[in-house]
Amino acid sequence: MAALLVFLWIQFGVPVGTIARFGAYVVLGLAIPGTLLWRAFGPQLRFRAEEYAAGTAVGYAVEVLARIGASALGVPRLGLVVPLCVVAVFAVVPALRSRFRSAADPMPVPLASAYAGITGTVLIWFAYACFRGGAAGGGAGMADAFGGLAMPDKDVVFVLAFTADVAHRWPPEMGYVLGSPLDYHWFLAAHLAAAHDATGIELSTLLVRLALPVMLIVLVVGTGALAVRLSGRPWSGPLAAFLTLVVGEPLITGLTSAADSPRYAAFGNLLAAILYLSPTLTFSMALFAPLAILVVDIVRGTAARGEPGMRSWVLILPLLAAVSGAKGTVLPLVIAAAGTVLAAEAVVRRRVHRPALALLTAASATYAIAYWLVYGGQSYGMRVEPLGVVAQSAVASTFTGHWPAQPGLRVSAVITILMLVFFAAPWSGALLLAARDTRRDPAVWALGGVAGAAIATAVLLYHSGQSQLYFYRNALPLLAAGAAWAIAARLPSGRRGGVLALSLLAAGAAAGVVCAAVFGVRLTIRGVPGFSIGALLRPVLVLALLVAVIAAAASRRRAAVPLALVLVFAGAGSVRVGAQAVYGSALALTGHLGPRTPARAGSELTAARWLRDHSGVRDVVLTNVHCAGGPYAPPKPCDALSFWVSAYTERRVLVEGWGYTTENALMGAARPGRSYPNTLPFWDQALLRRNDAFLARPTRAEALALRQRYGVRWVFTDAGSGPVSAQLATVTTERFAAGPVRVYEIRG
């Protein structure tokens, strides 16, 4: 797997020396210290690969917390010493030295091959769909960390913008609007900043090339480790990883080409753009899987009475702290899991489940602290709006004829029921755990709490950017692991059970191929020739018939119908996801579903990097770049999602774009209906007018006033973002020019 990853990095322009430095950092700074801590304080896992995945996640947590603490003290590089100190302590203390040797088994070849196949598929898809960029479809490019023709998608550039602020300044801000607080899940940025300091590798290279593939490997193997911990069946691990990736809404559209695909489904699946466009999600899931292993041990009571005993809290507490700022949707799931166990134990067994109470207390306290210290006590525009999720559903568009949709309560309820039934099918195998021999396991109740929280938040909450769906997405690995556990509990033990599970998945995949070829339905708008509700349901009916046939053939087996349902729908889902990955992703990401950020020539990136290399980290930049779609020209709405100046200069900007800020989100939430907040006017119009007035009518006095009041030392202009007065060169000093870009310095 390492060889494949190195090959893909080289294929997409990463120098061999950069790969070597990053690889050494991952092994020495993350994997080794984290694995040592896991072996000392965590439960004994079945296989060494599982230890390495869980340990790397612990390494992320230790690194992030050390970086934040060191930054708060004013010496951010001091955080790099902490992982090295961990290794040193284990090397010096005799009682800990044995942890350098693993007590886990090497993974058998068939099992390792299954993991390799899943992980390799994910990495190859990820590289060719998310690294290749404009070459695939001719649209705006997706990923250029090395001075080529285009920038990443606006969401990735947004993360890069605040990552630059976390890397260079404290306390961090958004970066692209001076003084705008970073009330956001930004702990990924702390990891990237630490990696940058440790390796000297550019932040953009770390984000868009190097960091995410490693997290994907940790996610796949960590999810498998959770399933094995739940079920005790080794083959349930790859099955859980597979289910995590193929979960999605039903197969309701033709899959012959990306151009025929509908718009994004509301829930979607993980093997899609979301793993790249939301790197904070990928990071949080990599941390969440091993945390879930510890949660399972806590609620089962293993950590209270057996090895490793109460020592597991040494890992639980830092992992809780790390996930609190990795993604704001993780800790509520932990709270739901612990609270459900506590309530179920009180009702069924009439006792207080002390470990669950301790976990609930720790998670709730961590969430409360993070809510105020990390998120500034802000909701970021999230609000209670039942059934609001249908506004961004492909199914909703068939009922309403447009997207986003406001179909009304009755139709919304129908759409929501369809979505919840179908997207839940691949992981609803957890319902099999209600059988007598498993339903009293507290881990079942914990999974039920996670599932309930995932569904409730998706149905009851609404955010203009559909951010409420991240509760569901973060829950997917846990729910998939629960489904794999349930399937393993209902199939024969040993290799026979794995073969039977694989056969049912293959049957579902075959049905998916038939449905795609024979019953393909296009759902873009109302009025498509031949569209009807019957056409929508026909593929589902074919799958239901196949389930009935398999269930009849296996009628002597207990729970045959739900077992067949889960595996067949999962197999069919794999066809949908596979077709999307192979045929559609590159075009979808760079064509009609591509980024709003226009392609930027190498001259823009060159100028931004020149400014980064010739300015101080406290310098402030003034720019005429505000809108993602072109010049700022009121009263025309501005799609204020431009972040590239602050991202690539790694300097704070007086006013660049203003989307994705707390102030902007709150303005959007205060307006009736589903307004798109990123097209709302900037909240400080006086500051924006002063910014643009200086560029239109520059004077020496105003230049000095801007420097005195706001710390503005540099002016960065792009001719493609609007005209700038020629007088600017007379009141400032031109320092750099590249194509349409000019960089000026305010001296005085």
From 376, 225, 205, 201, select the one nearest 292 (Cα to Cα). Answer: 225
User: How would DSSP label each residue in 592-640?
Assistant: TT--SSPP--HHHHHHHHHHHHTS-TT-EEEES--BTTB---TTS----
Average pLDDT, rounded, for the chain: 80
- State residue 132 phi and psi, 5-degree precision: -70, -40
Among residues 690, 720, 661, 730, the alpha carbon closest in space to that of 184 is found at 661
Pick from 269, 251, 267: which is nearest to 393 by CA? 267
Give the pLDDT confidence of 197-216 residue by residue, as tens digits. 999 999 999 998 999 999 99
Query: Residue 191 has what pLDDT?
Result: 98
The predicted pLDDT at position 75 comes to: 95
Which is nearest to 608 in space by CA: 569, 653, 543? 653
pLDDT higher than threshold 90 for residue 473: no
At 506, the amino acid letter reads: A
From the list 467, 471, 432, 469, the residue with the least C-alpha distance to 450 is 471
* Higher pLDDT, residue 382 or 375: 375
What's the predicted TM-score (pTM) here?
0.87
Q: Are 488 and 497 in contact (CB under 8 A)?
A: yes
Check residue 177 and report its DSSP letter. Answer: B
Query: Which secondary structure element, helix H or strand E, spans residue 736, and what is its range?
Result: strand 733-738
% of the chain residues with pLDDT over 90: 46
Residues 248 and 42: their CA atoms lie apart, in Å, by 33
**In the block, which residue shows the tokens 């010739």?**
614
* Euclidean distance between CA atoms 712 and 159, whole angstroms: 23
Residue 164, Cα to own-chain centre: how many angstroms?
19
Q: Is 399 exposed, middle or buried (CB count within 10 Å of its CB: 0-12, 13-18, 19+)?
A: buried
- Give the torsion sign (CA, 581, 583, 586, 591): negative
Question: Could you give the 3-state DSSP secondary structure of residue 737?
Answer: strand
Distance CA 3, CA 126 (A): 16
Alpha carbon distance 631, 623 (integer Å): 12
- Whether the predicted pLDDT of 647 surpasses 80: yes
Average pLDDT of the residues in 567-585: 54
Res 705: pLDDT: 95
pLDDT digit string (tens) for 337-364? 999 999 998 888 888 888 999 999 999 9
What whole-number distance in Å separates Cα of residue 632 and Cα of residue 625?
A: 8
3-state helix, strand, coil in the chain (%, to 5): 65, 5, 30
Q: Which residues contact 683 (CB under 8 A, 6 or more apart)?
A: 658, 663, 664, 667
Residue 87 corresponds to which tokens in the numbers above? 């290794």
For residue range 151-163, what is the model confidence (pLDDT) as tens digits? 677 888 999 999 9
Q: What is the pLDDT of residues 2-55, one digit of tens each?
A: 888 998 898 888 899 999 999 999 999 999 999 999 999 999 999 999 999 999
584 or 360, higher pLDDT: 360
Q: What is the pLDDT of residue 31?
A: 97
DSSP, collapsed to helix, strand or coil, labels residue 67 as helix
Per-residue pLDDT tens digits for 277-310: 899 999 999 999 999 999 999 998 765 554 455 7
Place of tokens 């996930």: 323
| Cα 170 from Cα 74, distance rounded (Å) | 8
Query: Helix, strand, or coil here: 273?
Result: coil
Q: Give the model confidence (pLDDT) of 524-551 as tens digits.
A: 333 334 444 454 455 555 555 665 665 5
DSSP 504-537: HHHHHHHHHHHHHHHS----SSTT-TT--HHHHH
pLDDT of residue 383 exceeding 50, the answer is yes
CB atoms inside a 10 Å sphere around CB 178: 20
Cα 189 to Cα 487: distance, rounded to the nearest angstrom: 38
Cβ atoms of 690 and 684 within 8 Å: the answer is no
Specify whether the CB–CB gap between 422 and 565 falls below 8 A. no
Residue 427, pLDDT above cutoff 80: no
For the record, the structure tokens of 235 come out as 């083959």
Is residue 580 within 8 A of residue 255, CB to CB? The reply is yes
Other CB atoms within 10 Å distance of the CB of residue 24: 12
